[in-house]
Amino acid sequence: MSDLFIGGAWSPAATGRSFPTLNPADGTVITTCAEAGPADVDRAVGAAREAADAWAAHPEHLRARLLWRVADLIEANAEELAELESRDSGQLLGVAREVSVPGTAEHFRYFAGWCTKIQGAVLPVAFPDTLHYTRREPVGVCALITPWNFPLMIAAWKLAPALACGNTVIIKPAEQTPLSTVRLVELMSEAGFPPGVVNLLTGGPGTGRALAAHPGVDKISFTGSTEVGRSLVSAAAGGLKRLTLELGGKAPSIIAADADLDAAVAGNLTGALFHSGQVCAAYARFYVDRERADEFTEKMAAGAAALRIGPGDDPASRLGPLVSEEHLRSVDAHVRGAVYEGADLVGGGRRVDRPGFFYEPAVFAGVTDDMAIAREEVFGPVIPVLAYDDPDELVARANALEYGLAASIWTRDLSTAHRLAARIRAGAIFINMIHVPDAATTWGGYKASGWGREMGPYAIDAYTEVKGVWTHLGPGSR
Ligand code: ADP
């Protein structure tokens, strides 16, 4: 049983309620976690508010040291964190070891560097005899709500910049995958953050709702579904809370006639099936020049079928389980729906006959833009191939959905690549490569894929308010 972390101390939920978290590789209960209710939310927000002024005034170089220490502690406990992440989320252990844990540590280091470099500017205002400068100040108390697909990394994407900018935080991990965040918060406490600066509430949607609605929260940073993102816009409306939203996606991958097809197949298999497609930037609809569409589809189907499906802790596994029974059913319903609509299921698209939530990746040919499988976010191992004839029609097709998180382009022609990159409305474009995040650059979406950006200098905008300070330098008052 794991507890809540509020004001520097661990405690059960006020109601005593808890919830189980399962191992998706076999459906067994790993442990239970305290389920925070409104009284706990109130206490956590109170603790964060009480700590806010002192933390905002905490010297920047000391904030930096704390964040750096978190990165060191993550590395010192890397294997334990990787195993927890894999067991709780189904992530392949290799991915947890090589991507999630190092990516989390790197994020803390990157934003440790920012602490001493968050600065205002002296701006040349038109008024004579006036000194004007801007200050970047913390927003205040930040509610950080994270999803189940990359629990550790996404927690770091929010915790590190929020703390670097001098905010106090309450993190609420997803109910399916709380364990690595609980351990991360233990390590943050060990690093020496003052009480109340970092608080943890475990729980489900009800906990998230109560946290988002609390009037003492100044900012919500959320990664998850577009539907919940929309509800947070309403939750934030009363107090006009600041909001950063990283929501759904349905990234198009465009494979031009001149693409290196074998490289495109390898890259798109990973782009589509990394973490079983449970990635918001996953390549999820494939526009292939009609001349190459059959060859691409066959090679994708062969590649997908060759991936060994198994538990995350088996080094031979290339595809782990989906996160939950509920999610597997949702993926399967999309696959059945596509078959019903007339798409041609070339391979996979079935539950694997073993305990846990394993699913064979589905490859579809003959998909048209009107089919749900080409429009809706599946968040699973599904590869719909659509043919195109006219490169000029591509931009309109790629931009036709409400999503705009990522897109991918496979071509040998630089002008095709960069013309498309400029015209596709998405927050990240990957040319001849898989989707990758990096602390140094931007992450976030156009349109219904979100509001604001995470990572890089953009995260500093997300976690600070800008204040202009005016001083009259002339004689008398103005
Ligand atoms: P998914 O559909 O991928 O499970 P969700 O958007 O439902 O993603 O959940 C992402 C995170 O948001 C989780 O931590 C979840 O508990 C939380 N959550 C779900 N519903 C709400 C809500 N109405 N308000 C605030 N947080 C919520």
pLDDT tens-digit series, residues 285-301: 999 999 999 999 999 99
Whole-angstrom Cα distance, residue 451 to residue 217?
A: 18
Q: What is the average pLDDT across 455-464? A: 98
Q: Whose CA is nearest to atom 11 of ligand 1?
A: 147
User: Is 236 a pocket residue for ligand 1 (Cβ < 6 Å)?
Assistant: no
- Of 334, 319, 333, the residue nearest 278 (C-alpha): 319
- Of 204, 201, 205, the residue nearest 235 (C-alpha): 205
Neighbour tally for 106: CB within 10 Å: 19
Is residue 246 flagged as an active site residue? Answer: yes
Q: Which pLDDT belongs to residue 170?
A: 99
| Centroid of ligand 1 to alpha carbon of 208 (angstroms) | 7
Is residue 115 flagged as an active site residue? Answer: no
Residues 59, 126, single domain; the answer is: yes
Percent of the chain surpassing pLDDT 90:
98
164-218 pLDDT, tens digit each: 999 999 999 999 999 999 999 999 999 999 999 999 999 999 999 999 999 999 9
User: Is 457 a pocket residue for ligand 1 (Cβ < 6 Å)?
Assistant: no
372: domain CATH number is 3.40.309.10
| Centroid of ligand 1 to alpha carbon of 204 (angstroms) | 7
Q: pLDDT band for position 414 (50/70/90)? A: very high
| Centroid of ligand 1 to alpha carbon of 167 (angstroms) | 22
> Does residue 441 sit within a domain?
no
Residues 361, 457, single domain; the answer is: no
Check if the beta carbon of residue 200 is closer than 8 Å to that of residue 186.
no
Residues 107, 179, single domain; the answer is: yes
> Is pLDDT above 90 for 478?
no
Q: Which domain holds residue 274?
A: 251-431
Q: Which pLDDT belongs to residue 305?
A: 98
87-132 pLDDT, tens digit each: 999 999 999 999 999 999 999 999 999 999 999 999 999 999 999 9
Determine which one of 33, 142, 165, 280 is catalytic: 280
232: domain CATH number is 3.40.605.10
Q: How many residues does the chain have?
A: 478
Residues 308, 262, single domain; the answer is: yes
Report the mean per-residue pLDDT for the chain: 97
Looking from the CA of residue 327, the nearest atom of ligand 1 is 4
Which class for 415: exposed (0-12), middle (13-18), buried (19 or more C-beta within 10 A)? exposed
User: Is 130 a pocket residue for ligand 1 (Cβ < 6 Å)?
Assistant: no
Q: Whose CA is nearest to atom 17 of ligand 1?
A: 205
317-338 pLDDT, tens digit each: 999 999 999 999 999 999 999 9
Q: Which pLDDT belongs to residue 391?
A: 84
Q: Which pLDDT belongs to residue 392?
A: 84
Looking from the CA of residue 379, the nearest atom of ligand 1 is 3
> Does residue 439 sit within a domain?
no
Residues 426, 459, single domain; the answer is: no
Beta strands at 406-410 and 428-431: parallel, antiparallel or unpaired: parallel
Q: Looking at this protein, which amino acid is placed at residue 471?
A: T
Cα maximum dimension of the chain? 84
Q: pLDDT band for position 475 (50/70/90)? A: confident
Whole-angstrom Cα distance, residue 194 to residue 43?
A: 16
Percent of the chain surpassing pLDDT 70:
100
Residues 202, 266, single domain; the answer is: no
> Does residue 274 sit within a domain?
yes
Task: Give residue 181's Cα distance to chain centre.
Answer: 14
User: Is 158 a pocket residue for ligand 1 (Cβ < 6 Å)?
Assistant: no
User: Is 212 a pocket residue for ligand 1 (Cβ < 6 Å)?
Assistant: yes
Q: pLDDT band for position 228 (50/70/90)? A: very high
Q: What is the average pLDDT across 373-397? A: 96
Q: Which pLDDT belongs to residue 104?
A: 98
Whole-angstrom Cα distance, residue 437 to residue 430?
A: 11
> Is pLDDT above 80 for 470?
yes
CA angle 206, 208, 212 (to 5 degrees): 120
Q: Which pLDDT belongs to residue 344?
A: 98
Check if the beta carbon of residue 250 is closer than 8 Å to that of residue 285.
yes
Give the mutation target among 35, 145, 234 for probing the ligand 1 site: most ligand atoms within 8 A of CB.
145
Q: What is the average pLDDT across 423-451? A: 98
Looking from the CA of residue 231, the nearest atom of ligand 1 is 23
Residues 276, 417, single domain; the answer is: yes
233-271 pLDDT, tens digit each: 999 998 999 999 999 999 999 999 999 999 999 999 999
Q: Which pLDDT belongs to residue 44?
A: 99
Q: Which pLDDT belongs to residue 426?
A: 98
> Does residue 374 sit within a domain?
yes
Residues 270, 213, single domain; the answer is: no
Residues 226, 119, single domain; the answer is: yes
Determine which one of 35, 83, 106, 246 is catalytic: 246
- Count of domains forming the chain: 2
Residues 238, 296, single domain; the answer is: no
Q: Which pLDDT belongs to residue 474?
A: 86
